[in-house]
Structure 1
Amino acid sequence: MALQIGKLAKRSATTLCGALLILGMVLYLPKPVFHVALAGFGVVGAMEFKAIAQGFDVKLLIVPVVITVIYGIASLYVPQLNIHWLPFLVVALTCLCTLAPPHTVTSALPSLGITLAASAYLGFSLIGLSYIFALGTEGNDHRGRLLVLFCFFVVWMGDSAAYFFGSIFGKHKIAKVISPNKSLEGAIANLAGNAVALWLGQITFFPNLTGITIGALTLVFFVFGLFGDLVESSWKRGSDIKDSGQIFPGHGGVLDRVDSIFLTAPVFYITVVHAGI
């Protein structure tokens, strides 16, 4: 795929605006406001998922998806909302919703499946970001804010490297049916971009990152970022739509812009907690 200057300029401008928006939100919004903003992105993402579901002629249940996001974020402020109960509650609520009209015995199971997929893919990722943000200590939330920015930085460094190198040098396709533009060369550039971003983080804000941790996180960001991208692409391909939305010119919707974050954020949170970053 040749590198198109016009498309590149549009994409770069959107990326810059998106990066500035994320930077401003993470650095300056009070913690509760940031979490409300995340919930808002969750609602937008759920609406985009609804459009994808319509392409399969399946009804997405918005309520369980939104409740997944709100419950998970609220559990940071209300200890009684045990996060470990969330998967059970989501499944139970979704099953209950499929019994209500206008569902039929033939539409209930497909609706259940796509709603649970949306809840897991969208809900748990935003919950992961909210938990990363909350890692700061009382009176000093800089650590959590830096970690959220670091997560986006590593993912977007990999995405940018994959886009540029894949556009110029990409010859060997790795997912022709799901995402025809994905190439082995782009994937290798993605891996290298993740590694460089993690190394830059180590020499600036996170000196306690060891070589082993950098290696492990490089694989985490690469594997889960790529899978998150391909999963969303496969859903769009099956639904016969190009973009999940139009909120970001040159990138599409919320799901398109942060698809590499979705599976990465929860795993990054677990790694941060256990590795003591």
Structure 2
Amino acid sequence: MLKQRIFTAIILVALLIGMLFSLSSFLFSLAIVPVIVLAGWEWTHLVKMSSKAQRLKFIVVLILLLIISGIGIGMGDSVRQHLAHGILLIASALWMVIFCLIFTYPSGTRFWSKTTYLSALGLLILLFTWIAIVYIQSLPSGSNLLLAAFAIIALSDVGGFIFGKLLGRHKLAPMISPGKTWEGFLGALILELFLVVAFNYFGLFQLSVWELSALVLIVALASVGGDLFESMVKRNIGVKDSGGLLPGHGGVLDRIDGMMSALPIYAVLLPFAQTA
């Protein structure tokens, strides 16, 4: 299982980096659409939509929203950055509400049991994830900034897994995700310090070390929140993985759950980070 997980991760990382630096920002944004749609299809199963017609309807609505957003905010070099940033502010506010609901679980179980609410929430979250990617890539050094975000999110996930396996004793959120521990969580945050050093060395952000540390910490925490959110939905529905497309990793949603929460928040903070 671990070998499978590592092999799949290597393939995904190589594919992502190859696309990120070989495709134009416009083509990369288009290339991400199938990933968002696949995640949407998994979401329809996760929230237990009762019929195939309902699932297809969800996907059609998602694709239409992506098209409308692509026309509205633009893509590639023609992104209306102020509009996109405003939308992502709304996305960040939505995630703040979701994080609060995570802390109150299982008292809000009624909300998490309603397919209608979860369907609408899924549409918004997936749409905001794509808009965040489009927006970040439109900024100067956009590909590098996006890679930096992916690195923060991935290291948070990997660090949590490794330190949790080696040292995990105290459950982080036993009602939501029994496998996650405080030791894994804190170990991952310590690992993020290496990224702070790397970002500072390459001068990607024109920030002091303390400001850069705060940025990395916020994004890492947001990614953990996204992971817990998906775990909460899965636990409430009664499933282990969102799918089986990625050997050793589960489904697409299981891989991008941290990105769904972290990317919009990261994107909102970037203008204040005075990126190079």
Q: What TM-score comes out, normalization by structure 2 length?
A: 0.80
SS at match of 1:206: coil
- Name the larger-Rg structure: 1
Higher relative contact order (CA 8 A, sep 6+): 2
Residues 1:174 and 2:178 aligned together: no
Q: How does 1:1-277 map to 2 (within 5 A)?
A: 7-54=1-48, 61-74=58-71, 75-77=73-75, 83=84, 110-136=114-140, 143-206=141-204, 208-277=206-275
Hey, what does 1:90 align to over in structure 2?
none
In the alignment, the residues of structure 2 paired with residue 124 and residue 20 of structure 1 have an alpha-carbon distance, to the nearest angstrom, of 25
User: 1:129 touches 1:148 (CA, 8 Å); kept in 2?
Assistant: yes
Letter in 1 for 2:117: G
User: 1:132 touches 1:144 (CA, 8 Å); kept in 2?
Assistant: yes
**Gap runs ≥5 in structure 2:** 91-112
RMSD: 2.6
- Structure 1 residues 80 and 24: alpha-carbon distance in aligned structure 2, compared to 1, 3 A threshold: closer
SS at match of 1:182: strand
- Post-superposition Cα deviations, 1:100-127, rounded to whole Å, max 9, x if no partner, equal xxxxxxxxx9444122210222211121
- Structure 1 residues 111 and 9: alpha-carbon distance in aligned structure 2, compared to 1, 3 A threshold: closer
Hey, what does 1:103 align to over in structure 2?
none
User: 1:42 touches 1:66 (CA, 8 Å); kept in 2?
Assistant: no
Shift of 1:254: 1.2
In the alignment, the residues of structure 2 paired with residue 230 and residue 37 of structure 1 have an alpha-carbon distance, to the nearest angstrom, of 27
Shift of 1:187: 0.4
Shift of 1:15: 0.9
Letter in 1 for 2:258: S
User: 2:158 touches 2:188 (CA, 8 Å); kept in 1?
Assistant: yes
**Gap runs ≥5 in structure 1:** 1-6, 88-108, 137-142
In the alignment, the residues of structure 1 paired with residue 236 and residue 50 of structure 2 have an alpha-carbon distance, to the nearest angstrom, of 7
Letter in 2 for 1:70: I
SS at match of 1:180: strand
User: 2:48 touches 2:115 (CA, 8 Å); kept in 1?
Assistant: no
SS at match of 2:65: helix
Shift of 1:207: 5.6
In the alignment, the residues of structure 2 paired with residue 68 and residue 197 of structure 1 have an alpha-carbon distance, to the nearest angstrom, of 35
SS at match of 2:74: coil
In the alignment, the residues of structure 2 paired with residue 57 and residue 168 of structure 1 have an alpha-carbon distance, to the nearest angstrom, of 43
In the alignment, the residues of structure 1 paired with residue 87 and residue 27 of structure 2 have an alpha-carbon distance, to the nearest angstrom, of 25
- Structure 1 residues 63 and 114: alpha-carbon distance in aligned structure 2, compared to 1, 3 A threshold: farther
Letter in 1 for 2:68: Y
Q: What TM-score comes out, normalization by structure 1 length?
A: 0.80
**Range with greater deviation from structure 2 (59-68 or 19-28):** 59-68
User: 2:164 touches 2:180 (CA, 8 Å); kept in 1?
Assistant: yes
Shift of 1:193: 2.1
Letter in 1 for 2:124: A
In the alignment, the residues of structure 2 paired with residue 85 and residue 206 of structure 1 have an alpha-carbon distance, to the nearest angstrom, of 25
In the alignment, the residues of structure 2 paired with residue 163 and residue 188 of structure 1 have an alpha-carbon distance, to the nearest angstrom, of 11
| Percent identity of equivalent pairs | 27
